Amino acid sequence: MKGLSINWITEGLIDFEYKKYVLLGYLKKVQERFISQRLYPTLSDLVLHYNNLISLEENKKNASEAFPKSISKLDFKQFRVEYDEMLKQDETLLEIEKIMKYAIPRLKQNLEDGKEIYDIIEDKLSIEPIGITPINKNDGYMFVRACNESETRAYQYQITIFESADEKHRGIKTSYVTSFNKSIANTYEGFKVELIKQNKSLPNPATYIIESELSVPYKETLIPIAKRSLVRYISNIS
């Protein structure tokens, strides 16, 4: 899917009808992706574009309020001073403002639609530890299996923690290891043991099985949601 340029609102022809055409074309593709339950990277792109416009709108408001004004009228009867803004808006700025007012609610609605699909899929995920969970849960393996599929995909994960001015944030890096079919003879616990034998750098890894009740696209939906769900799960038990 061809995405929307990060500077779509200000680059090229700045015309309301043209930008409306560009935006609606993008949102049509977004909706097609959501109908097929392919959330990523589309949902992340929507968040980026929506936040960019909100920031642009806020910055414009702050600039207008901070800019000096000139006295236009003195009313001594009412003891009132009227001002004219010295920050004059040309036609280009007015056109951008018109585009923003049109785009923001439509991006927000599509963002809410995507989030609703995300929540439904996440609600149908289950996460369970495999074997004994070590104190360090930030490095280990993530097994992922979709509904009615015999194949389980194994990923090595590493959770990273970084701090902002207000709070700690957690991110996750994953790398695909292999796939296997679970059976009576080939259990999750047994496969964890095999991975420990193969990778001596993780002698006691935290390992979790994430299973989905829904059959959804792996790359664009299940894996991204599984990763975010695992980060939240580990954060809550740490």
Dihedral angle of Cα 91, 97, 98, 103, to the nearest 10 degrees: 150
DSSP 103-159: HHHHHHHHHHHHHHHHHHHHHTEEEEE-SPPPS--SEEEEEEE-TT--EEEEEEEEE
Domain ranges of the chain: 16-122, 125-237
Alpha-carbon distance values, 195 to 64, 128, 159 (Å): 60, 18, 19
Q: How do 139-145 and 80-85 pair as beta strands? A: unpaired
Q: What is the pLDDT of residues 191-221, one digit of tens each?
A: 999 999 999 999 999 999 999 999 999 999 9
Q: What is the pLDDT of residue 78?
A: 52
Identify the bridge partners of residue 19 per DSSP, sorted by sequence position: none
Q: What is the pLDDT of residues 112-147, one digit of tens each?
A: 999 999 999 999 999 999 999 999 999 999 999 998
Classify the C-alpha dihedral 220-224-225-226 as positive or negative. Answer: positive
Q: What is the pLDDT of residues 57-82, one digit of tens each?
A: 887 665 455 444 554 444 444 545 45
Mean pLDDT of 21-33: 97
Collapsing DSSP states into helix, strand and coil, what is residue 188?
helix
**Cα distance between residue 92 and residue 19, in whole Å:** 13
Q: What is the pLDDT of residue 123?
A: 97
Alpha-carbon distance values, 56 to 20, 44, 88, 92, 181 (Å): 18, 18, 17, 15, 50
